[in-house]
Amino acid sequence: MAGVAVSTTINGDNFEYLCQPDETLLDVLRDRLGLTGAKEGCGTGDCGACSIILDDRLVCSCLVLGAEAEGRRVETIEGMAHGDTLHPLQQKFLEHAALQCGICTPGFLIAAKDLLAKNPDPTEEEIRFGLAGNLCRCTGYDKIVRAVQDAASVMKGA
């Protein structure tokens, strides 16, 4: 079966790939392009582990077809740090130990980045609602919320 030819931008770089028409963008990122930061948790849009930003919108990449990325802008966790310099959210997740097993972490970081881009000074409640599409079974969320609050104050001062 012939694939769909797709030309897209991922983390600022141009990518071209062939994918099957029913292949998700998550599978394309992980299995064809080697970008394994986005994780597959549920595969049905419930857990947020596969979160990416598509044309400035936070989405689950398991609910996007690879073919849909044609001509669009994709941001993944791999584009978050600049070389060896971590994004403030990444730094604060480390400092606050806002992770244990780490499977949910790339999704939380992307969702938190999107949240702070739209609301640089969120309340605790806004953070909890904003990150409700990301599930974590280790931390109990409190450390994640504190890391995001701390990152927000650092980013505001920057």
Partner 1 sequence: MRYIRPLSIEDAAGLLAGSTGTAAILAGGSDLLVRMKGGFIEPDLIVDIKAIEGLSEIRETSEGFSIGAAVPCAVLGESKALKKAWPGVVEAANLIGSKQVQGRCTIVGNLCNASPAADSVPALVAAGARAVVVGPAGRRTIAVESVPTGPGKTSLAKGEIIEAILLDKRHPHSGDAYLRFIPRTEMDIAVVSAGVNLTLDEQGRVKSARLALGAVAPTVILVEEAAEVLNGSKLDEATLERLAKVCSGACRPIDDKRGTVEFRRKVAGVLAKRAAITAYKRAGGK
Residues that bind partner 1 (CB under 8 A): 4, 20-22, 24, 43-45, 48, 51, 54, 57-60, 62-65, 67-68, 70, 111, 114-115, 129-134
Q: In angstroms, what is the minimal distance from the CB of 37 to partner 1? A: 16
Closer to partner 1 by Cβ: residue 51 or 76:
51
Q: In angstroms, what is the minimal distance from the CB of 67 to partner 1? A: 5
Q: Can you tell me the distance from the alpha carbon of 20 to that of 114, in angstroms, rounded to the nearest whole number?
A: 29
Q: In angstroms, what is the minimal distance from the CB of 57 to partner 1? A: 4
Closer to partner 1 by Cβ: residue 40 or 86:
40
101-135 burial code (b ≥16 CB/10 A, e <16)? eebbbbbbbbbbbbbbeeeeebeeeebeebbebbb
Q: In angstroms, what is the minimal distance from the CB of 2 to partner 1? A: 10
